[in-house]
């Protein structure tokens, strides 16, 4: 069977050497009768993108790059990594090195590494709109966390302390609120567009997200701005064809100007007003919920957090709650953090309550899950769910739903987007903190009881 190769080429500017290296490798492979596909990461984005199947079938991977290339997608493959210039000068030699390379020996997986492995697998298999949305969310979260914690620290001086100018609370609010949180929606939109159209999508996405925040369209408007900018830029990249001598104008002049202009006008004249009305209506609905409806919302959001433990459903609930922080709605954030802490804490408790139902490795993982749980890292429950999903996942869903429903029933609120137990001591950050702890504790105990009731004794 003829060996197949794949390659990635990239240079810092992405104009000349990227394509010269790709051409050199392709010609060398053709002369040797070897099948190769070369992905180029140039100034107009990724072209000739490698699919998962192509990477999986490849004997080895050649990375000829002077710019950063993500290696995680090639996990388990032999990688030949060289400067882009070497591929230009010695394409044939690189092909020979790749063909002669032995596949890497599989490493034994440790139970404590399962969270990382499963998250990497989810990331690698994510496609389409969800992949693009999660790319935006992943870049947005550091801004949200940094801004939210700084705003929370300003509340430690008093709920209205930031109203006094030229004081530390006022500066904390300015840095965290106007600064970091002010970039939340633009960054979300920019990196949704980046995921779709690569670097050319960042400018129109950022501007579209800024306009969304300015007109009151909030995070929903930012999401629309990101997809709009990304697909528009991707389309313009494909349809605009220029002579080789003028190709350099496309990424630095033509694409940014056209895509930003069109995205901006659409956000102002078409998207902004209806999305602002939707956000206003959503905010009004959430702030005027009756107790029954509020508890129902808490149950649903909580169940979503406990369903796939950091997967698409969990992230959808979290994104919804985080997006509402900028609108001054703090109840859903309390729900998702309580419900997200419950699965790992409940499973950790279960390993102490019924140790005979868990293997020695799982009992050790339970200790790590406890630490992850108090820090609001739901993925700490993944090793248990992966080993016994039919018994563990129903327990985490019910436990998280109860924690979320109680958080709403007790009228708890949370002004910080992350941090778990570590933000609870900050004054004025958690509304009704004692009842909030009660909600988490009850959800944890319910999860543990259900897990121990459903699971069979482990084979030691």
* Same domain assignment for residues 252 and 173: yes
Task: Name the β-bridge partners of 40.
Answer: 9, 47
| 43 pLDDT more than 70 | no
* Same domain assignment for residues 252 and 298: no
* Cα(140)–Cα(138) distance, integer angstroms: 5
The secondary element (H helix, E strand) that includes residue 81 is strand 78-82
* Same domain assignment for residues 253 and 224: yes
pLDDT for res 176: 86
Question: Is 218 part of any domain?
Answer: yes
* Cα(413)–Cα(148) distance, integer angstroms: 14
Q: What is the pLDDT of residues 180-191, one digit of tens each?
A: 888 988 999 999
Domain count, the chain: 3
| 113 pLDDT more than 70 | no
CA atoms within 13 A on the CB side of 273: 5
Question: Is 286 part of any domain?
Answer: no
15-to-9, 94, 118, 225 alpha-carbon distances in Å: 11, 22, 36, 28
- Which of 45 and 278 is assigned the larger pLDDT? 278
Q: Please list, in sequence order, all residues whose beta carbon lies within 8 angstroms of the beta carbon of residue 379, skipping any fewer than 6 positions away.
A: 115, 118, 119, 309, 310, 344, 372
Q: What is the pLDDT of residues 83-112, one digit of tens each?
A: 877 888 889 999 999 998 877 755 444 444
pLDDT for res 7: 95
| 357 pLDDT more than 80 | yes
Question: Is 262 part of any domain?
Answer: yes
Mean pLDDT of 17-46: 87
* Same domain assignment for residues 339 and 392: yes
Residue 420: pLDDT band with limits 50, 70, 90: confident
pLDDT for res 348: 94
pLDDT for res 218: 80
* Same domain assignment for residues 243 and 310: no
Mean pLDDT of 325-340: 90
pLDDT for res 83: 84
212-to-137, 145, 187, 191 alpha-carbon distances in Å: 16, 21, 12, 15
- Which of 159 and 29 is assigned the larger pLDDT? 29
Mean pLDDT of 135-154: 81
Q: Which of 100, 115, 147 finishes a domain?
A: 100
pLDDT for res 1: 59
* Cα(213)–Cα(198) distance, integer angstroms: 23
Q: What is the pLDDT of residues 210-225, one digit of tens each?
A: 999 888 888 888 999 9
Q: What is the pLDDT of residues 13-27, one digit of tens each?
A: 555 678 878 988 999
* Same domain assignment for residues 450 and 304: yes
Using alpha carbons, select from 380, 374, 384 the residue that is nearest to residue 314: 380
* Same domain assignment for residues 435 and 300: yes
Q: What is the pLDDT of residues 268-291, one digit of tens each?
A: 999 888 988 888 887 777 767 777
| 118 pLDDT more than 50 | no
| CATH for 70 | 3.40.50.2300
Percent of the chain, pLDDT > 90? Answer: 40
Q: What is the pLDDT of residues 200-213, one digit of tens each?
A: 999 999 999 999 98
* Same domain assignment for residues 315 and 430: yes
Question: Is 111 part of any domain?
Answer: no
pLDDT for res 120: 45
Segment among 32-46, 196-210, 275-289, 299-313 with least mean pLDDT: 275-289
Question: Is 108 part of any domain?
Answer: no
- pTM for the complete prediction? 0.65
Question: Is 83 part of any domain?
Answer: yes
**Is 135 in a helix, a strand, or coil?**
helix
Mean pLDDT of 27-42: 91
* Same domain assignment for residues 203 and 181: yes
pLDDT for res 67: 66
Q: Which of 224, 252, 279 finishes a domain?
A: 279
* Same domain assignment for residues 251 and 361: no
Q: Please list, in sequence order, all residues whose beta carbon lies within 8 angstroms of the beta carbon of residue 53, skipping any fewer than 6 positions away.
A: none
Q: Which of 247, 279, 311 finishes a domain?
A: 279
* Same domain assignment for residues 304 and 273: no
Range(s) of the domain holding residue 65: 4-100
**Mean pLDDT, the chain, whole residue set:** 85
Question: Is 116 part of any domain?
Answer: no
| 122 pLDDT more than 50 | no
For 135, the token pair is 């790319």
pLDDT for res 417: 84
| 2 pLDDT more than 90 | no
Active site residues: 11
Segment among 172-176, 243-247, 271-275 with least mean pLDDT: 243-247
* Same domain assignment for residues 27 and 142: no
What is the DSSP secondary-structure string of 58-111? Answer: -SEEEEEESS----GGGTTSEEEEE-HHHHHH-HHHHHHHHHHPPPPPPPPPPG
| 12 pLDDT more than 70 | no
Question: Is 51 part of any domain?
Answer: yes
| 125 pLDDT more than 50 | no
């Amino acid at each position: 069977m003829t060996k197949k190769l794949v390659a990635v080429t990239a240079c810092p500017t992405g104009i000349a050497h990227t394509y010269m290296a790709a051409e050199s490798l392709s010609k060398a492979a053709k002369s040797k009768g070897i099948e190769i596909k070369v992905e180029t990461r140039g100034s107009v984005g990724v072209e000739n993108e490698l699919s998962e199947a192509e990477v999986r079938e490849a004997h080895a991977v050649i990375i000829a790059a002077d710019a950063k290339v993500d290696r995680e997608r090639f996990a388990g493959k032999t990688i030949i990594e060289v400067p882009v210039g070497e591929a230009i000068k010695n394409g044939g030699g690189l092909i020979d090195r790749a063909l002669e390379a032995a596949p890497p020996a599989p490493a034994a997986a440790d139970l404590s590494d399962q969270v990382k492995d499963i998250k990497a697998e989810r990331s690698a298999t994510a496609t389409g709109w969800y992949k693009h949305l999660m790319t935006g969310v992943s870049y947005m979260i550091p801004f949200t966390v940094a801004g939210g914690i700084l705003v929370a620290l300003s509340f430690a001086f008093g709920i209205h302390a930031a109203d006094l100018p030229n004081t530390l609370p006022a500066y904390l609010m300015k840095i965290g609120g106007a600064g970091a949180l002010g970039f939340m929606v633009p960054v979300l939109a920019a990196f949704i567009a980046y995921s779709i159209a690569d670097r050319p999508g960042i400018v129109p996405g950022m501007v579209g997200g800024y306009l969304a925040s300015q007109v009151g369209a909030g995070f929903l408007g930012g999401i629309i701005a990101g997809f709009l900018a990304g697909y528009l830029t991707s389309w313009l990249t494909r349809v605009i064809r220029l002579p080789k001598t003028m190709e350099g104008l496309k990424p630095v002049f033509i694409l940014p100007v056209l895509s930003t202009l069109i995205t901006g006008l659409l956000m102002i004249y078409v998207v902004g007003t209806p999305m602002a009305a939707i956000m206003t209506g959503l905010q009004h609905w959430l702030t005027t919920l009756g107790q029954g409806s509020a508890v129902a919302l808490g149950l649903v959001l909580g169940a979503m957090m406990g369903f796939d433990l950091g997967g698409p459903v969990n992230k959808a609930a979290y994104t919804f709650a985080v997006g509402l922080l900028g609108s001054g709605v703090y109840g859903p954030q309390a729900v998702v953090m309580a419900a997200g802490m419950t699965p790992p804490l409940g499973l950790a408790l279960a390993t102490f309550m019924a140790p005979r139902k868990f293997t020695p490795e799982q009992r050790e993982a339970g200790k790590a899950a406890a630490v992850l749980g108090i820090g609001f890292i739901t993925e700490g429950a993944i090793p248990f769910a992966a080993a016994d999903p039919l018994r563990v996942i129903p327990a985490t869903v019910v436990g998280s739903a109860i924690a979320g429903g109680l958080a709403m029933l007790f009228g708890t609120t949370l002004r910080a987007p992350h941090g778990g137990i570590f933000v609870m001591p900050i004054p004025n950050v958690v509304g009704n903190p004692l009842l909030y702890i009660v909600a988490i504790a009850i959800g944890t105990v319910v999860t543990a009881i259900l897990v121990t009731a459903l699971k069979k004794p482990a084979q030691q």
